[in-house]
Structure 1
Amino acid sequence: MTTPKPPPGHFTILYFASATSFTAKNVESLPAPLSLKKLFDVLEERYKGIKDSVLDHSLVTINLAYVDIPEEGEEDVIIKEGDEVAIIPPVSSG
């Protein structure tokens, strides 16, 4: 799968598993720069309930590197123009 390049001034978000089901999208672009904490707020505004249902249990990568979600008082991660963010929920198999 080739990820579409985001428009100028934007970054790309890739959704996997339950994140795709929740948003009904595989990919979208948002304006950059944006902090990781703010990204979760923006996604919650767009997709009510996604934070509790998906984001709080997901791994996040920026440009294929896993990042930790900052706790209160910790320095935030800034997502820059052209970055690729992936939301990777836990996947169960049986």
Structure 2
Amino acid sequence: MASKSESRTGSSSTETFTIHYFATASQYTSKNTERLPAPLPLSELYPLLEERYPGIREKILSSCGISLESEYVDVVEDAQKVIQAGDEVAIIPPVSSG
């Protein structure tokens, strides 16, 4: 298995991150997960998803939480963070209790 430092010569899976879509995000994309190119600045995540799934920013992402490596992040406040190869990102719609 190639390490992150070998990503240029290793398998393509080391040059991607995994994004998980839950609930409405999964319905909108028709996917539960996919791999996207890495590294990717967090500030470019929404534009990339909007390019792939027109309308997702307004209809889905505006009300969702984003986690990077199991920690919630804010795409504005944490814009300087970079999603690295092998990282996991999740799009988490609001959870209601009843």
Mark yes or no: TM-score above 0.5: yes
Matched, 1:55 2:84: no
Cα offset, 1:76, TM superposition? 2.1
1:17/1:91 contact within 8 Å kept: no
Query: Is 2:33 the partner of 1:27?
Result: yes
Question: Which amino acid in 2 is paired with 1:19?
Answer: A
- In 1, Cα distance between the equivalents of 2:79 and 2:75? 10
Alpha-carbon distance, 1:37 to partner: 1.8
**Structure 2 unmatched ranges of 5 or more:** 1-11
Shift of 1:92: 3.7
Q: In the alignment, is residue 76 of structure 1 matched against residue 59 of structure 2?
A: no
Match of 1:3 in 2: none
Aligned to 2:3: none
Higher Cα radius of gyration? 2
What do the CA deviations read for 1:43-62 (whole angstroms, capped 9, x no partner)? 00010000001111110111
- Tell me the TM-score normalized by structure 2: 0.80
Q: Does 1:89 align with 2:78?
A: no
State the superposition RMSD in angstroms: 1.8
Question: Normalising by the residue count of structure 1, what TM-score does the alignment of the two structures yield?
Answer: 0.83
Alignment gaps of 5+ in structure 1: 1-5
Cα–Cα, structure 1 residues 93 and 21, in superposed 2: closer, same or farther, change >3 Å? farther
Aligned residues: 87
